[in-house]
Structure 1
Amino acid sequence: MSECIIIGAGPAGLAAAIAATKQGVSVRVIDEFVKPGGRLLGQLHQEPDGEWWNGIEEAEKLVAEAKAAGVSLSLGTSVYDLQKTLNGWRVSTTDGILDAPAVLLATGAAETAVPLPGWTLPGVMSIGAAQVMTNVQRVRVGARGVIIGVNILSVAITRELQLAGIHVDRMVLPPVNDVNKHPADPAHVMQSLLRVSHLAPSPLIRLGSRLMQSAGMQQLGVRFFPPQGVKMWGIPIQLRTAALEIIGSTQVEGVRIARITPNGTPVPGSDRIIPADFVCIAGGLYPLAELAAVAGCPFAYIPELGGHVPLHNEQMQTPLNGLYAAGNITGIESAKVAKAQGYVAGLSIANVHGHRAGTLNDELARAIQQVEQVRAQATIQFHPHIQEGRRCIASLYAAHLQQISAMA
C-alpha cells in the first residue's frame, strides 16, 4: 500500500511526488491520460527574455526525475470516488480500489463553456483541445479558423497554432447572453489583455497599453478601438466584433460576425459571414475540483482564484486530515507556480505522514517562500488580484478551523 496517492500527473502532481519520494514516502501517481505531464504537454511559448518554454521538454524532465526517485505511475486510469476511512483515504479507480493515509488532489483546471448557436457542429472545439491536438497529437485542426473568445489563454494558444502553420483569420468576442457576460464585454476583455501587454510583439502596442492604465483611458480605448482590430503576429484581435453564430450543415463552414457597441450589443446591419473550416471557443479556466467535493472538502468561491476552490492553507493542506491540494485546483496560475506548489505539498505530506515526520519544517518554510517568489516573477497572471485571492483563502481556512475547534 502506498503512503500517498497523488491524483494528477501534471506539474503539481509530479513535483509533489518527487519531493515526497525523496523524503522516503511511498507514492503512486494516477492520471487518466496515457502520458504524464498534464497541461505541460501542450505548452509552447516564448518568454520575454527570448527563451522558449517547451512544455513537453519540461514534462519529460519531471517524469525522468520522478521515475529515478522511485515514483509509481498509473496512467490511463480514472478516479471516480474518494472516501475518508478510519486510517486515511480510499480511492476508487478504474483499475481497482486503493488505500493510503494521504491523498493529494492535483487535478488542474478545466475550460469554461461559451455557448452560442452552432457550437455543436463538427470542427468546433475548445481552445485547449486545439492546443492538445496541435502540440501533443500533431494533428492539424484545420486550414482556416476563427477564435471566439479573447483572453490570456486563447492569445497564447492562437500563437501556437500559427507557429504550427495553421491560419487563424481573426479573434473575436462571443455574443452577449446569460452565460457569456465577462467574455462578451469589450471593456472586461481589454482589462485582461492589458495585464499581458508586456508580451506583445509590437513596441507600439506595448507603448499604447502603458498609456491606458486608468479606467477613463480604457473606456476611451474600447470606444475608439479600430473596427479591423489590432494585430498581434499578424492576427487581428477584434474587441468590437462578436460571433453571432457558427455556420454549417454537417461541419463548420463559417462564422457570422457583427460589429458591436462598447457594451457588446450587435450593431444592426453590420453582420457578415467569414469562411472557416474550424472554430476554437475560449472561455477561460476554472479549478477542476469535483473530487474535492466528493470527498466532502469545504469550498469557497474566490473570483480572484478562478472560481470555487477547496479550502487550503499555504502548506497545501485541506481541513480534512490527510487530504491535500496543489496546482490549479487551488486557483488558476502558471505551470511554474503549480510546480512550486507541488513541491510544497510533497514536503508537507512527508512532514506529517512520512518517516521524517516533524523534521522538515525548515525545508517546508523555504519551499513556501519559493512559491511566493515564483508567483511574483510570473510572466502571465490569469487573474489580476491573485495575491488578494490567496490571502482570502488563507483567512477562510483559518476561520473554518476556529469554527470546528469551537464546536468540538
Structure 2
Amino acid sequence: MWNLLIVGAGPAGLNAAIAAAGEGLKVKIIDEFNRIGGRLLGQLHQEPNGEWWNGIDVANRLHEKAITLGVKIESGVSVYDLEQSEFGWKVYTSEGMEKTEKLLLATGATEVPTPIPGWTIPGVMSIGAAQVMGNVHRVKPGNTCVIIGANVLSIAIANELRLCGVEVKEIVISQPNSSLTHSGTPEKVMESLLQLTHLAPSVLLRQAGRVAKYIHPSLAVKFYPKNGMNILDIPIKIKTAATEIIGDKKVKGVKTVNIRSNGEIIPNTERITEADFVCIAGGLAPLPELAALTSCEFKFVHELGGHIPLHSERMETNEPNLFVAGNITGVESAKVAMAQGTVAGLTIASEIKGNKKHSDSAIEEALLTVRKEREEALIQFQPNIARARELIYQQFELDWKAESPKRSIS
C-alpha cells in the first residue's frame, strides 16, 4: 500500500511527488498518457528575462528528480473508479486496483470544444493539438493558419506556431450563439485581451493597454480597429467572426463576417481567408471527473475556468484523505501548478508524519511561492483569479469549521 497515490504526471503531480517523497513518503504516480509531463510537454516560450521556458526540459528534470527520490511512475494507465476505505482509498485502474492512505488528483485541464460548420474537415484541430504537433512531435501542422477564438491560450500558442514557421494569418472570434455568449461577443473577448497588452510589440500599444484597463470593455471595443490589432505580429480581430470553415477533403479557408460590438452581424461583409489548416481555441476548463466520483463538494467559478472541487489553500478537499492540485483547482500557469503540487505534497507528508513545527514552516514557504508565481504570471487566463481563490479558501474554512467533528485526517 502507498502513503500517497497521485493521479496525473503533469507539473502539479510531479512536484507533489517530489515534495512528499522528500519527506520520506512512499509515493506512486499514474497517468493515462504515455509520456510524463502533462501540459508541460507542449510549452515553449520566452520569459520576460529573455530565458526560454522549454516544457519538455522542465518535465524531464522533474521526472528524473522524482525517480531519484524513489517515486514509482507508471504511464499509459487509466483510472475509472475511486472508493473510500478504512485505510484511505482504493483506486481502480486499467492495470488493477491500488491501495493508498492519501490520494491526490492532479488531472489538469481540458480544452473546451467550439462547434462551427465545417469543424470536422481534415485540417481542423484544437489549438492544443497544434501545439503538441509542433512542440512535442516536431511536426509542422501546416503552412498557413487561421485561429478561431481570441483568448489567452490562442494568443500564446499562436506565437509558438509562428516560431514553428507557420504563418498565422489572423485570430478571429466565433460567431455568437446561445452556447457561446461568454466568448462570442467582442465585449467579452475584450475583457480577456486587456490582460495581455503587456505582450504587445510596441511601447505605444503597451501604454494604451495600461490605460484601457481602466475603461469599460464596451468603450474599449468601440475604439478597437475594425481590421484588428497586432500582438506578437499576429492580427487579433475581435470584430470579425468565423461563420464556416471551407473545404471538402481538406481545409481551404475560413468564411468570416464583420460584427458590431454586441455580436450582431453586419450585412454584406462576408469574406474568405485562405489557409491550409484551422485551429479552434475554445479555452480551457478544469478536468474534475474523478473528483466527481467522490462526495467532494464542487463550486462553479468563472474566473477559475468552470466547476472545481472546493478546497483549501493547502489543497485539502472536504473528503477525508483526498487532495487536489494544479489546473483541476482552476486554470493557471504551469508554474502555479508546480507550486501548488509542492504545497499538496508537504501537506500530505505533514498529516502522515505529524512533524507539525517543521511542516508548517515548509508549507508556509511553499504557499508564498504559489502567491508569487500567481502574481508574476506572464499571462492570466481570467481576470480576478487571486480574488476568486481567496473566496474559495474562505468558503472551505467555513465548511471545515461546520463539519470538522465529522472529518478525520488520520
Common fold, TM-score beyond 0.5?
A: yes
Q: Point out the more displaced range, 358-367 or 23-32.
A: 358-367
**Offset, 1:359:** 4.9
Q: How does 1:278-317 map to 2 (within 5 A)?
A: 278-317=277-316
The answer to whether the aligner puts 1:86 opposite 2:86 as a matched pair is: yes
Please say if residues 114 and 179 of structure 1, whose CA atoms lie closer than 8 Å, have aligned partners that are also in contact. no
Q: Which residue of 1 aligns with 2:324?
A: 325
The answer to whether the aligner puts 1:67 opposite 2:73 as a matched pair is: no
Q: Distance in 1 between matches of 2:57 and 2:305?
A: 27
Q: Distance in 2 between matches of 1:322 and 1:72?
A: 20
Q: How does 1:242-281 map to 2 (within 5 A)?
A: 242-281=241-280
Q: Distance in 1 between matches of 2:386 and 2:68?
A: 35
Q: Point out the more displaced range, 248-257 or 311-320.
A: 248-257
3-state SS, counterpart of residue 360 of structure 1: helix
Q: Distance in 1 between matches of 2:213 and 2:363?
A: 38
Q: Which residue of 2 aligns with 1:211?
A: 211
**Offset, 1:370:** 2.0
Q: Point out the more displaced range, 32-41 or 182-191.
A: 182-191
**Offset, 1:407:** 8.0
Deviation track 1:8-33 (CA, whole Å, cap 9, x = no partner) reads 11110000000000111011111111
Deviation track 1:83-131 (CA, whole Å, cap 9, x = no partner) reads 1111111111111110101110000111112121111222111111111
Deviation track 1:40-84 (CA, whole Å, cap 9, x = no partner) reads 111111122222211111111111111111111101111111111
Please say if residues 24 and 355 of structure 1, whose CA atoms lie closer than 8 Å, have aligned partners that are also in contact. no
3-state SS, counterpart of residue 253 of structure 1: strand
Q: Which residue of 1 aligns with 2:185?
A: 185
Q: Distance in 2 between matches of 1:314 and 1:16?
A: 14
Letter in 2 for 1:185: T
The answer to whether the aligner puts 1:386 opposite 2:385 as a matched pair is: yes
Identity %: 50
Q: Distance in 1 between matches of 2:53 and 2:235?
A: 24
Q: Distance in 1 between matches of 2:403 and 2:342?
A: 28
Q: Distance in 2 between matches of 1:358 and 1:324?
A: 21
Q: Distance in 2 between matches of 1:404 and 1:233?
A: 50
Letter in 2 for 1:248: G
Q: Point out the more displaced range, 5-14 or 136-145.
A: 136-145
Q: How does 1:122-271 map to 2 (within 5 A)?
A: 122-216=122-216, 218-271=217-270
**Offset, 1:401:** 2.4
Q: Which residue of 2 aligns with 1:363?
A: 362
Q: Distance in 1 between matches of 2:136 and 2:84?
A: 36
Q: Which residue of 2 aligns with 1:114?
A: 114
Q: Distance in 1 between matches of 2:348 and 2:126?
A: 35
Query: How many residues in Structure 1 have an aligned counterpart in Structure 2?
Result: 407
**Offset, 1:360:** 1.6
Q: Distance in 2 between matches of 1:82 and 1:200?
A: 46
The answer to whether the aligner puts 1:96 opposite 2:96 as a matched pair is: yes
Q: Distance in 2 between matches of 1:211 and 1:220?
A: 12
Q: Which residue of 2 aligns with 1:7?
A: 7
Please say if residues 297 and 318 of structure 1, whose CA atoms lie closer than 8 Å, have aligned partners that are also in contact. yes
Q: Distance in 2 between matches of 1:370 and 1:153?
A: 24
Q: TM-score of the superposition, structure 1-length normalised?
A: 0.96
Deviation track 1:285-313 (CA, whole Å, cap 9, x = no partner) reads 11111000012211011112111110111
**Offset, 1:210:** 2.0
Q: List alignment gaps of at least 5 residues for structure 2.
A: none
Please say if residues 115 and 180 of structure 1, whose CA atoms lie closer than 8 Å, have aligned partners that are also in contact. no
Please say if residues 48 and 199 of structure 1, whose CA atoms lie closer than 8 Å, have aligned partners that are also in contact. no
Q: Which residue of 1 aligns with 2:399?
A: 400
**Offset, 1:356:** 5.0
Please say if residues 201 and 233 of structure 2, whose CA atoms lie closer than 8 Å, have aligned partners that are also in contact. no
Q: Which residue of 1 aligns with 2:348?
A: 349
3-state SS, counterpart of residue 318 of structure 1: coil
Please say if residues 199 and 231 of structure 2, whose CA atoms lie closer than 8 Å, have aligned partners that are also in contact. no
3-state SS, counterpart of residue 392 of structure 1: helix
Q: Distance in 2 between matches of 1:197 and 1:342?
A: 30
Q: Distance in 1 between matches of 2:100 and 2:300?
A: 29
**Offset, 1:355:** 7.4
Q: 1:405 to 1:360 in 2, by over 3 A?
A: closer
3-state SS, counterpart of residue 286 of structure 1: strand
